[in-house]
Amino acid sequence: GAVVSQHPSRVICKSGTSVKIECRSLDFQATTMFWYRQFPKQSLMLMATSNEGSKATYEQGVEKDKFLINHASLTLSTLTVTSAHPEDSSFYICSAPNWETQYFGPGTRLLVL
Amino acid sequence: DAKTTQPPSMDCAEGRAANLPCNHSTISGNEYVYWYRQIHSQGPQYIIHGLKNNETNEMASLIITEDRKSSTLILPHATLRDTAVYYCIVRPEAAGNKLTFGGGTRVLVKP
């Protein structure tokens, strides 16, 4: 199957700082990628759709100015959590479609102190 | 997208078949049934998908009822490494469409 990577796998930062998470499709190209967030013992919640060459589409209730998404190329999307606060601590997961299937990255665990 | 209903949890014995049910009574004609699983602290892993016909791959079998209102994922010989949360998702055909995750079924494989 297709491979999606994320970097970093885990990050700890201080409140008020910004954190960038990268999502790469390693062996295929993706004009669209998706960003999810997962809190402990909960299911994945879609945050936004990342579109190569155009603006991201955000789900209702997700602040676009706080969660900046850039789809820089056909294999890379980045999510920047700006001015992070402890409530932003979560597991962030990206996915990318290839043919009929979406493939997920391994996730990035963010802890904001 | 059609909503799915799954039991919140189930146990199964190592080496036995695990049958995971999913109800999707409002599924539309162009919607596929997808199954993913998420092992603790990892990203979801694709298992299998189908439209109308039963499907089988190296991981599992998918049985879809004739009216397509429900399906069953079968893990033929469950191992301890199959312990995970299993998600049944329905969505339109295009892979670029987003996936909406429900609560899934937490499967615990016991020795």
B43 to chain A: which residues are within 8 Å by CB?
4, 6, 93, 95, 104-107
Q: Can you tell me the distance from the alpha carbon of A46 to that of A60, in angstroms, rounded to the nearest whole number? A: 10
Which band of pLDDT confidence, cut at 50, 70 and 90, is reported for residue B94?
low
pLDDT at A72: 85
Give the dihedral sign, CA A101/A21/A47/A42. Answer: positive
Instruction: Confirm if B22 and B7 have CB atoms less than 8 A apart.
Output: no
Yes or no, beta carbons of A105 and B43 under 8 Å apart: yes
Nearest residue in chain A measured CA to CA from B103:
A43
pLDDT tens figures, B22-70: 999 999 888 999 999 999 989 999 999 999 999 999 999 999 999 999 9
Which band of pLDDT confidence, cut at 50, 70 and 90, is reported for residue B92?
confident
Mean of pLDDT values over A3-16? 97
- Which of B36, B98, B102 has its CB closest to that of A49? B98
- Best A43, A50, A92, A103 member to test B by mutation, with max B CBs in 10 Å, is A43
Nearest residue in chain B measured CA to CA from A37:
B43
